[in-house]
A and B are shown apart, each in its own frame.
Chain A
Amino acid sequence: MTTTTKNNELNTPPAGAAEMPSPKEACIFLSDYASWLLGCGATCIRIEKNVRRMAGRWNMEPEMTILPSHIHITVWNRDRSHSYSNNVRLHHTGISFDINTRLSKLSWAVADGKTSFAEARREFEEIVRVRPANPWMVWLLASLANMSFCRLFGGDFAAMLIVLCGTLAGYKLKQVMLEDGRDVRFTFFCCAFFSSVIGAAGYVFHWGDTPEIALATSVLYLIPGIPYINSVSDLLDGHYICSFSRFMNAAVLTACLSAGLCGGLLLMNIQWL
């Protein structure tokens, strides 16, 4: 009964049908939308749901293939008489929860009929034009968060202070190197190296009672947690290619981080075994 009602609802053109986009317009918009969503760190299931939600409102059926760095979308009209396909590269925007949330809200606004196609396009342009969060604020907050990690793992005040300094220096270096367009793997290596050397201050100058916690937590801010979580989410959803790609990206970064940490430990002659 519910299925029948739902099908009837889908077959009935929604109010404001005059503003309905053509399959071509819808496909171009949805492919741009999906590439931004993939670029800002959304999982495959979220991308599929959001795109379907909006296409359903416009009385269309999307079929999509999500690859690690491309999205292929075909949009059909309801009677399957006309379709349009588009293949787009993902936008390398960096992980942004702000863009992610705003794009999801946009999809709900479209699905609820609060936003027409023209308005949705305008709003999308505004969302993607948003500047990233203030780098100075991110720098400070990430450092404070890493310092809190040190406390959570049982570090004392001296260890927390060391971790704060190590993260401030390492995170600044990360921002500077990425801004200059350096390779992200090399950046992770350098940041982990310098952060671990600063984190070893507890051992070198005998500050505090928990120098091992300061050293271990000094590089935690570099762990690519979101790609790992997204990889598991994609795996559960059956998007194995994306899942594997995300996992390998995260694993390579973790390996670079580990190499930097080992370099720091070797330089400071700290015996960890």
Chain B
Amino acid sequence: MNDQATIWILTVGCLLLIFLFRNIQQMRKETGHRKIFELEQDNYGIYDDYDEE
């Protein structure tokens, strides 16, 4: 493999890494702390009912 091919693979690999990190970032934004917080809020209600019973 010559230098040209190596540079090509590195550049395309860099682009793929950008897409990969972007997707991970997107996924964390959608299912991150906010979701966990919402779940906690929902569960809080459930525990309240449980205590009353």
Contact = CB atoms under 8 A, between A and B. Distances in A.
Contacts, number: 30
B4 A197 contact: no
B28 interface: no
A173 B7 contact: no
Interface stretch (A53-61, A71-79, A200-208, A224-232): A200-208
Name the interface size band of chain B: 10 to 19
Contact of A197 (B3, B11, B18): B11
B22 interface: yes
B4 A268 contact: yes
Name the interface size band of chain A: 10 to 19
A185 interface: no
A200 B8 contact: yes
A197 B8 contact: yes
B15 A194 contact: yes
Closest 8 pairs between A and B when the two form their complex, measured CB to CB: A197-B11, A204-B8, A204-B4, A194-B15, A204-B5, A176-B22, A169-B15, A268-B4
27 contacts: A169-B12, A169-B15, A172-B19, A173-B15, A173-B18, A173-B19, A176-B19, A176-B22, A194-B11, A194-B12, A194-B15, A197-B8, A197-B11, A198-B12, A200-B8, A201-B8, A203-B4, A204-B4, A204-B8, A205-B5, A205-B8, A267-B7, A267-B11, A268-B4, A268-B7, A268-B8, A269-B4
